[in-house]
Amino acid sequence: MVKEVNDKMNLNNYQKDTKSKSLTEAFVNSFGTYPIGYCLGIIILPLSVGWIKEDPFTVNILITLVYATVSFVRIYFLRRVFARFGFDDNFIRFSLRLCRQIATKIRFKGEQKICN
């Protein structure tokens, strides 16, 4: 019975997250929050200044909902990126690999423009 459950859940093929992968994901998630939250604050807070005086409770709920939604999307996106590319490396290797890929794409597009 246990073997059947294990086979159904594919526990034999399940790979656990490594500590370095979890650390990298947590680092990117934590430090990726600041620029997103800062930009979001620049957009949301000036829009809500007049309204916050009239109905602070509703504005507070709305601002919290916006921040929570953006946070959810950010975490989901980062989780999918890490799952898709299977990053077991640290953040520095991840950044270097990303920069190389971007540089390669830029060079390729530049060569296409020259040829056309």
Residue 57 has a pLDDT of: 92
Q: Are the beta carbons of 36 and 77 closer than 8 angstroms?
A: no
Whole-angstrom distance, CA of residue 24 vs CA of residue 31? 11
For the chain, the domains span: 18-88
Question: Per residue in 72-113, pLDDT tens?
Answer: 998 888 788 777 766 555 566 767 788 888 888 887 766 655
Using the CB atoms, write b or e for 74-98: b if 16+ within 10 Å.
eeeeeeeebeeeebebebeebeeee
Question: Per residue in 82-91, pLDDT tens?
Answer: 777 665 555 6
